Amino acid sequence: MAKFIDGLYYSESHEFVKVEGDFGYIGITDYAQNALGNVVYVDMPEVDDEVEAGEDFGAVESVKAASDLKTPVSGTVVEVNEALEDTPELVNKDAFANWIIKVELSDKTELDSLMDAKAYEEFCKNESH
């Protein structure tokens, strides 16, 4: 059973944003890592790259499939989760703890178009039927 954490923002492409001040930590949801299976590689942008909401910023590859990552918010990449370079399977252990990129948010109003945990859980239920 996938977990859904209150207080995070969720996109229809199965990324989450955890907001702390002017920064957003972006990763794939628990639902997404369950669907992908064993993650073997995470492709991430460089620090200082600009990301635009709705655009690809990398990819996650598993033994089953490769999936593009879409950023739910715009901003500047200030950090990448370097632990995932050597141990991408951390995403499977705890998708929410193992964010992929940290961005300085350029437009916090973009968060308004994302789902909360309850709405995202409903979205996932509808998608799996």
Task: Write down the pLDDT at residue 89.
Answer: 97
Structure tokens at 39: 């993650």
Q: Is residue 119 part of a domain?
A: no
Domain that holds residue 71: 14-110
- Predicted confidence (pLDDT) at residue 1 exceeds the cutoff of 90: no
- Predicted confidence (pLDDT) at residue 81 exceeds the cutoff of 90: yes
Q: Is residue 81 part of a domain?
A: yes
Global pTM reads 0.96
Name the amino acid, one letter, at 8. Answer: L
Q: Is residue 3 part of a domain?
A: no
- Predicted confidence (pLDDT) at residue 129 exceeds the cutoff of 90: no
Name the amino acid, one letter, at 24. Answer: G
In degrees and rounded to multiples of 5, residue 109 shows phi and psi of: -65, -20
Q: Is residue 7 part of a domain?
A: no
Mean pLDDT of the chain: 96
pLDDT band at 66 (very low <50, low <70, confident <90, very high): very high
Q: Is residue 56 part of a domain?
A: yes
Q: Is residue 104 part of a domain?
A: yes
Q: Is residue 70 part of a domain?
A: yes
Task: Write down the pLDDT at residue 97.
Answer: 97
Q: pLDDT tens for residues 18-48?
A: 999 999 999 999 999 999 999 999 999 999 9
- Can you list the alpha helix ranges (DSSP code H) found in 1-129? 30-36, 83-86, 90-93, 117-127
Give, in order, the Cα–Cα distances in Å from 22 to each of 80, 102, 111: 16, 10, 12
CATH code of 34's domain: 2.40.50.100
35 CA to centre of own chain: 14
What is the number of structural domains in the chain? 1
Q: Is residue 117 part of a domain?
A: no
